[in-house]
Structure 1
Amino acid sequence: MNRSSAPPAGAAGDDDLGTFLTAFNRLAELASNHVHEYRAGTREPLVPLLEEHLGVDPCSLPVLTEILSPFRAADADVALEHVIATHGGGTLIGIGGGDQRWHSGLSEILQSAGHYGQFPVGPVDYHTVPVGPDAERACVSFGLHLFMFDDGTHGPRPVAVLQRAAKPNYGGMPQLEVIAPADGLAAAVLAEVREAMNARSVLRGQVVTFAASQFEPGTGGVTFVRRPDVGAADVVLPAGLLGRVERHVLGIARHRAALVAAGQHLKRGVLLYGPPGTGKTHTVRYLVGAAQDATVILLSGMSLQLVSQAADTARALQPAIVVLEDCDLVAEERSHRTSSPLLFEVLDALDGLAPDADVVFLLTTNRADILEPALAQRPGRVDLAVEIPLPDAEARRALLTLYAGDLPFSAAVLDEVATTAAGTTASFVKELVRRAVLRAVERGEPVAVGDEDLRISVAEMMADGGALTRVLLGGAPEGPAASSTAGGGGFGWTAVPGLAPS
């Protein structure tokens, strides 16, 4: 390049500066237009609207906030709708301002709206949540309710309630924020909403599971489960065992009034323990199905960490059952080397219930030997511990009959197979029948399943090569001879450290 043709020093910098100033001027124009639109009314300002409703400057009022359980956000929506309708109806408006709304409390929103027009009136935000196994509800996720509320002392007076859903990715919990121009009025509104939440809860009488959020454990969702339909005849247990458990779980609920009148407590804990596959979960399914008027909360796996929230919900919606499956995952015996924080939550939940709370904690475990003794023995925590043992020959015969249904197996082969399958579990028997049917299906003759299919299937599953299969299905690994003494010889109680038979 010829030196004489090069741009003068600083020319490139001048171009950059010019570009920046042009962009800055454009930004200033947009800001000016925004303020003009706001003042001209094309974006309705929030503060004047609230001031007209409340009769005072809303920025001068204190805000009373109620943090809600993330599992009861739908209850809050239902309750607030009911309270507003009861007091004559109201107006629901939205608030604009983008995601910044989720990071700001109502007081901050009002201050910013009053000084800068940052949060104008906008559309109401909704989100859909389940309220039953086959039902959903569009709930307000961000909206401001303006209505008149009569607390019974001074007649109807204006209030405003900001309703917001959980935003776990923003660190937010569902909440209600109330402002009112009179002392005590906001508290009265929230008290009536809480009462309506319990009376009209979408969870009441339902079977639900709680799920933890990936962002924060306590901000997950609710899944509704169809109530199981399991009859007593479908539960094969030692004689009298199901009745004993049922009397403690369901009988106390049936006679709650008489028991309370006699000064007896209603809260109770029941522990079902025994080898895998013996029918603990199946027994729980029967009890849940039979407790038609109870609210049931099922916790297992990662959701066990939500036991405190489950206990609070059960207390509010009693009669209730809280099921903790495989509770040994959180309630292992403490030592100087190990300690489970979740165990403390379980103990606190059990201890925190009032004596007259009709709430059952129903726990299952495959490892009763490692359970914390304080959880297993102390009355008022778990007051009934019941072993669900390996089935004996009579029980295995009953299980074969149950799972075979109308399949054409002879009585003789059912007796033979029940003896051969010593030391196995209900899960093993159920799989055994399926294997027999599969053999017939592979021949192209599903209706021709017969005794030989059942004999061959049990021989394969009991063979030494199938030891792992037996273990996976809850059976003993040693084989038929050794297994005959592993628990299939009777219904006696197995001695477990820290547990006394019921």
Structure 2
Amino acid sequence: MDDAVTPARLRDFLEDVRVLAQAAQSAHPEQEPGVAPLLPLLTAHLGLDPRTFAVHTLELPVLRRVDTDVAVAAVVGEDPAARLVGVGGGEQRMHMSLSEILQHAGSWPGQFPVGPVDYHRAATGPSTSRQTVAFGLHLWHADGVPVVLLQRRASMRHNGAPVLEVLCPSDDVAGALLTRVRAEMDARSTLRGQVVTFSGSPFDPGEAGVVHVPRPSVPREDVVLPAGTLERIERQVLGVARHRDALRAAGQHLKRGVLLYGPPGTGKTHTVRHLVGASPGVTVTLLSGQALQLVTVAAETARALQPAMVVLEDCDLVAEDRSLTGGTPVLFEVLDALDGLAADADVTFLLTTNRADVLEPALAQRPGRVDLAVEVPLPDAPGRRRLFRLYAADLPFTPDALDAAAEATAGMTASFVKEAIRRAVLLAAEDGRHVGDDDLASAVQEMTGDSERITRSLLGVGAGADV
């Protein structure tokens, strides 16, 4: 029993630990020469010890970092005496809340001193960017009340989302400020009227971001679909936008879901590009692949920045995948996002799929989410003739050669026709001469031969194509 811990030995041990902690604290420098401690600065600004204040926190969508910076700058900028300071302390800052930073700064003044502001440059358009605050403290007065706001680009404890934390003597003022920031984000959004796609890995949400792309320009005459098909699609997507006031006055809903389905390579994406290009001023979000997991963020953004369009390409590829929360399939999350919009929201959800049979059961379980489903089929003979003329452009092929190529490519896709024209040009270039009818015939013959069965498949041509 000699090893038993008696109350007396426990008291002696705890006393030794206390003495050791005091010795360590006294040995730690209060602050490095020339470095200002954080706590006195905030105390002087707020008039009281900041550790006695409640911290008001606002977590924002990870893909609206730039809008957050723009909004904060607008709110803080109303005080000409506003200051922006940084916080030292290395990566530990990113894993602590503001209240935790203040507590540590009180116990160890040299751990989180006043330091330089961290900045991050982020895109605001296809060729423009903005320097945003990645980690910094704003000190200013709102209606005469002192305010401290911590702005951080991303916090891994908040799944990579930008976070604002406010210290203020008045809880009402703090709450109103955060509400104001949200309103300014929508009013001043750099995403409004732009075409964007979302990037980033679900395993590293802090690196998610917005990629701006130029708005495409695809003339209507360059979209080759069966007669009446494009007109139906345009009426639902573009027509509702043109007549939104009349529809609202008649009590009709504006939100709409449109599904384009058909084999690969038939022109679904081409049609989408035409619709996006024909919608100037509309905020467009393009999602495909794993980015479809971000459909809820896209829907929230579309609601805030309407008129808007959310394009969801190849939905069949993630029909059974689970969402980031591990709950419902991504496809159901897409449909729930559609259902969550107000009826008068001028938002289009445009879905494309190569496998309508995969989506149909889910759509049937949630009726009313998709208002129009349109097949984009393999081009018929007149369609193929139009496609050969379209992709031939100014190349010196005769009408008879183009018609012959169209007749020889029954069952082929628009992608196949485009590649046939390119290959004809390549055949001529290799021989050092201008392209002609014989090159087109040779290209079609080569591509429809048995040796290129896999090529045809990769261009979207089905196994049963008549060649």
Specify if TM > 0.5. Answer: yes
The residue that corresponds to 1:111 in the other structure is 103
Does the Cα contact within 8 Å between 2:63 and 2:208 map onto a contact in 1? yes
**What residue is the counterpart of 1:61 in the other structure?**
53
| CA distance 1:225–1:80, change in 2 (3 Å) | same
Matching residue within 168, 183, 186 for 1:195: 183
Partner of 1:135: 128
1:15-52 CA deviation, whole Å, 9 max, x = no partner?
A: xxxxxxxxxx9xx89974721x46xx732121221122
| Identity across matched positions, percent | 61
Q: Per the alignment, in what secondary structure is the counterpart of residue 82 of structure 1?
A: helix
Shift of 1:405: 0.7
Shift of 1:467: 2.1
- For 1:252-271, list aligned pairs within 5 A: 252-271=240-259
Which residue of structure 1 lines up, in the alignment, with residue 264 of structure 2?
A: 276
The partner residue of 1:290 within 278, 292, 310 is: 278
- 1:82 aligns with 74
- Which of 462, 484, 488 is the equivalent residue of 2:448? 462
What count of residue pairs does the alignment treat as equivalent? 441
Q: Tell me which residue corresponds to 2:62.
A: 70
Distance 2:105 2:206 in 1: 31
1:162, 1:177 within 8 Å by CA — same for their partners in 2?
Answer: yes
User: Which letter maps to 1:72?
Assistant: R
CA gap of 1:113–1:29, structure 2 versus 1, over 3 A, is closer
Partner of 1:427: 415
Do the aligned partners of residues 29 and 87 (structure 1) sit closer, same or farther apart at CA in structure 2, a change above 3 Å counting? closer
Unaligned runs of 5+ in 1: 1-24, 151-155, 484-502
C-alpha displacement of 1:341: 2.1
CA distance in 2, matches of 1:316, 1:228: 23
Q: Distance in 2 between matches of 1:434 and 1:116?
A: 69
316-325 or 161-170: which moved more? Answer: 161-170
CA distance in 2, matches of 1:63, 1:172: 20
* SS state at 1:239 partner: coil
Secondary structure of 1:51's match?
helix
Q: What are the superposed Cα offsets for residues 451-470 of structure 1, whole Å, 9 maximum, x if unpaired? A: 11111111111123322222
**Compared CA separation, residues 248 and 192, structure 1 to 2 (3 A):** same
The match for 1:442 is: 430
- Return the alpha-carbon distance in structure 1 between the equivalents of residues 443 and 95 of structure 2: 62
Local SS of the residue matching 2:122: strand
User: Any idea what SS the aligned residue of 2:124 has?
Assistant: strand
Hey, what's the Cα distance between the residues in 2 that align with 1:404 and 1:476? 24
Aligned residue identity for 2:100: E
- Does structure 2 retain, via aligned residues, the 8 Å contact 1:320–1:359? yes
Change (3 A) 1:89 1:330: farther
Q: 1:160 to 1:358 in 2, by over 3 A?
A: same
Q: Which moved more, 1:270-279 or 1:469-478?
A: 469-478
> Take 2:220 and 2:374, find their aligned partners in 1: how far apart are those partners?
17
Partners of 1:135 and 1:214 in 2: how far apart?
A: 26
Is the radius of gyration larger for structure 1 or structure 2? 1
Structure 1 segment 60-459 matched on structure 2, within 5 A: 60-117=52-109, 118-150=111-143, 156-168=144-156, 172-213=160-201, 215-217=203-205, 220-331=208-319, 341-375=329-363, 378-445=366-433, 448-459=434-445
Residue pair 1:213, 1:221 contacting (<8 A) in 2 also: no
Q: CA deviation at 1:183?
A: 2.7
- Cα offset, 1:191, TM superposition: 0.9
Letter in 2 for 1:428: F
Contact 1:462 1:479 in 2 (8 A): no
Matching residue's letter, 2:29? H
Deviation of 1:380 (Å): 3.1
Deviation at 1:89, TM superposition (A): 4.9
**In the alignment, what sits opposite 1:20?**
none
Instruction: State the AA in 1 paired with 2:281.
Output: D
SS at match of 1:474: coil
Gap change, CA 1:386 and 1:416, over 3 Å in 2:
same
What are the superposed Cα offsets for residues 42-72 of structure 1, whole Å, 9 maximum, x if unpaired? 3212122112211222110000100111100
Secondary structure (helix, strand or coil) at the match of 2:133 reads: strand
1:340 deviation in Å? 6.0
Q: CA deviation at 1:476?
A: 3.2
Cα RMSD between the aligned structures? 2.3
Contact 1:468 1:477 in 2 (8 A): no
Does the 8 A contact of 2:321 with 2:330 survive in 1? no
